[in-house]
Structure 1
C-alpha cells in the first residue's frame, strides 16, 4: 500500500480533532510535513525484512513510527511545538508508547510491538529493535544511554543512565542495565543474582550478526 499524502494528512487531522477537540487547525502544518515524514517512514520500513509490502498505515508498529517521524518533522523542522506535541499525544493514545517528538531516533529502527515503550532523549545509533515494554531512561544526574547501533532489546528490558551499548548487543527479556556498558557482539542475560545483575555472553564466532534477523544487510 502506498498511501496518498493528502488523504493521509486528512486522516491524521481527523484523528487529532477526534482525540483533542480543542479547535486547533493543524491541516496546513501536517500537509507541509507529510512529504518528508513519508520519505522517512518508507525508508525505515523498507529496511525491515518482515515488511516487504512497504509502509501500511493500518499496521500499528509502522503507523507509530510514522507518527513519530511526522511529529519530529513538525516540531524540529517546522518549529510547531504545539502541533508536534498533539501528534505525540495521539501516538501515545493510539499505541501506548512514550516517544516525544524531539527524541532523536535514527532513520532506521524497528518497533516490534508498541505497548509500554518509553524513550528518553538518549543517543541512538542506527538499526535498533525495540520490543514491547522496553525502557530507555535517563537519571536525575543527567546521564543518558548511548547506543552505538545494531542492538536488539527484547520485551521488558531496560537501559538507564550512563550506559554505552556497543554494537551488536542483544538484551534478553527483563534484563536491567543501570550505569553499565556492554562489550558489544554479545548477549546480555540475567545473572544468578537476577535481571539487575546481568552477565555477558559472546555471540557465536562466525555467525551472522543478530540484527540481520530483522534488517536487510
Structure 2
C-alpha cells in the first residue's frame, strides 16, 4: 500500500509510540505490543490520508500530500480515534480498543468511543470536552470544543454532509440535520429536524433558524 502522507513517525514508529503510551498509562498485566497494533495502524493511516487530504489547511495538507504530526493535538486525537476504530473493525481485543479510547480521553478530553462510526472525512478542532455519541454521521463533519452528540430516550441524531458543530453546541435525540448546516456556539438542538443550509442559533424554546449558504472554509472538495 503506497501512502501519500508525510508523517512525523512511520507506521512502525506510530505503533511503538502508541503501545508505549498505553503501557505507561495502563500498567496492567495485559501488555500491548507494537505488533498487536500494526495491522490496524496500516489501514488507519490510509484512512487518515483520505481524511486529511480534504482539509484545506497547510498543517493537514500541503498541496500535494497529507501531513500528520503525532505532536499536533487535534491530529493525534483524530488518529487515536481512527486507530481504535480500525482495531475494533478488525476484531482486535476489546481491552486494547478501550485503552486507545481512554488514552484519547485522557490526552485530549475527547469522548469518541471506538464503536462509533465517524465519517471518512471529519475534523476535530481543539476538541476538549467533546462527546461524539452513536449518531449517524456523514462526510465533512466538524466538531469544536465542548460539543455533544447524544441520545434522548435511546434515539440518536442523523447528520447530513457538511455539518459543523460550533463550540459548546449539542445535538441530542431524534434529529435529522440536513446538509450544509451549522449549529451555533452554545446552541442545543433537541428532537428537531433541520433543513439543508440552516444556521441554528439558540435552544429548543428560543431557536432562530437562518439560511446558511456560506460553506465551511476549511474543506477541499
Q: TM-score, structure 2 length as denominator? A: 0.90
Contact 1:177–1:196 (Cα < 8 Å) also in 2: no
Candidates 144, 159, 180, aligned match of 1:147: 159
- Contact 2:190–2:204 at 8 Å: present in 1 too? no
Q: Which residue of 2 aligns with 1:47?
A: 54
Alpha-carbon spacing, 1:196–1:88, altered in 2? closer, same or farther (3 Å): farther
How many angstroms apart in 2 are the aligned matches of 1:106 and 1:36? Answer: 15
2:132 to 119, 124, 147: 119
Cα distance, 1:203 vs structure 2: 2.4
Q: Return the alpha-carbon distance in structure 1 between the equivalents of residues 204 and 130 of structure 2.
A: 18
Map residues 53-132 of structure 1 onto 2, 5 A cutoff. Answer: 53=62, 54-132=67-145
Question: 1:99, CA displacement in angstroms?
Answer: 0.7
Mark the CA change 1:196 to 1:25 in structure 2 (over 3 Å): closer, same or farther.
farther
Q: From the superposition, tell whether residues 145 and 43 of structure 1 become closer, same or farther in structure 2 (CA, over 3 Å).
A: same
| Cα distance in 1, alignment partners of residues 201 and 173 from structure 2 | 19
| CA distances 1:88-143 after superposition (whole Å, capped 9, x unpaired) | 0011000001111000000100001120100111100111110000000112x221
**2:206 matched residue in structure 1:** 197
Given that residues 175 and 196 in structure 1 are in contact (C-alpha distance below 8 angstroms), is that contact kept between their aligned partners in structure 2?
A: no
Distance 1:196 1:34 in 2: 45
Task: Determine the C-alpha separation between the residues in 2 that align with 1:138 and 1:115.
Answer: 20
Q: After TM superposition, give the deviation of residue 11 of structure 1 in Å.
A: 0.5
Residue 195 of structure 1: how far off its partner (Å): 7.1
Q: 1:58 to 1:122 in 2, by over 3 A?
A: same
1:214 equivalent in structure 2: 218
Match of 1:6 among 6, 12, 17: 12
Task: Report the CA distance between 1:65 and its aligned residue.
Answer: 0.7
Root-mean-square deviation (Å):
1.4
2:148 maps to 135
Moved over 4 A (4+): none
